[in-house]
Amino acid sequence: MKGDSECGGSSMPAERNRRLKMNRLFSQLQATIPRPLSKATKEVIITETIRYIKELERKKNNLEQIKELQIQSHASGTTFMLPCMANDDNCSVTVTVSANVAFFGIQTVARRGLITMILEVFSNHKAEILAANVAVNEGILTFAVTALLQIVADGEGEGEGAVEMIKREIMTL
């Protein structure tokens, strides 16, 4: 009898440690999900994590496709369409570059604060916005931007590189 109670007694701390470890791991898992999940059950945490991983895999595939398109379009010219990273398949970004002036045509599902985020991308790359037009029709945002890109004094520019970085950042919004 004494052996049974000792055996049962030693498994209790092990079970408690296992539960504490699992709770800590679930907390860490919940912290990695970008959407806040207050008081979420373990099932919700796992479901949201799986959904987030699938979203990241889809974004990775889209970025690989964009890279291929950029390689192909670089050989043929500077105007091309790129799919947006948004959940809507009707989203696109068109870019046309002439010297140090670039025209960006962005079409996506309208969301609150999106224009501000896009303008911040241009600001971060020190692109001077010459003109911008915004229209929303049936929930679809159309945003056209003409921007003057920074060119270094020796004529070599960061312009083309800036266009690529601006496109990439807009695509991930």
Residue appearing with tokens 């911040």: 120
Last residue of a domain, one of 48, 77, 106: 77
Q: Are residues 115 and 167 in the same domain?
A: yes
Q: Are residues 103 and 43 in the same domain?
A: no
Segment 110-127, tens digit of pLDDT: 888 889 999 999 998 889
Structure tokens at 54: 């699938």
Last residue of a domain, one of 38, 55, 77: 77
- The parts of the chain modelled with pLDDT lower than 70 are 1-10, 35-38, 70, 72-90, 151-160
For a pLDDT cut of 90, what percent of the chain falls above it? 18
Last residue of a domain, one of 77, 95, 111: 77
* Residues spanned by the domain of 115: 78-171
| DSSP state letter for 145 | E
Neighbour-count burial of 170, counting CB atoms closer than 10 A to its CB (0-12 exposed, 13-18 middle, 19+ buried): buried
Q: pTM of the entire structure? A: 0.49
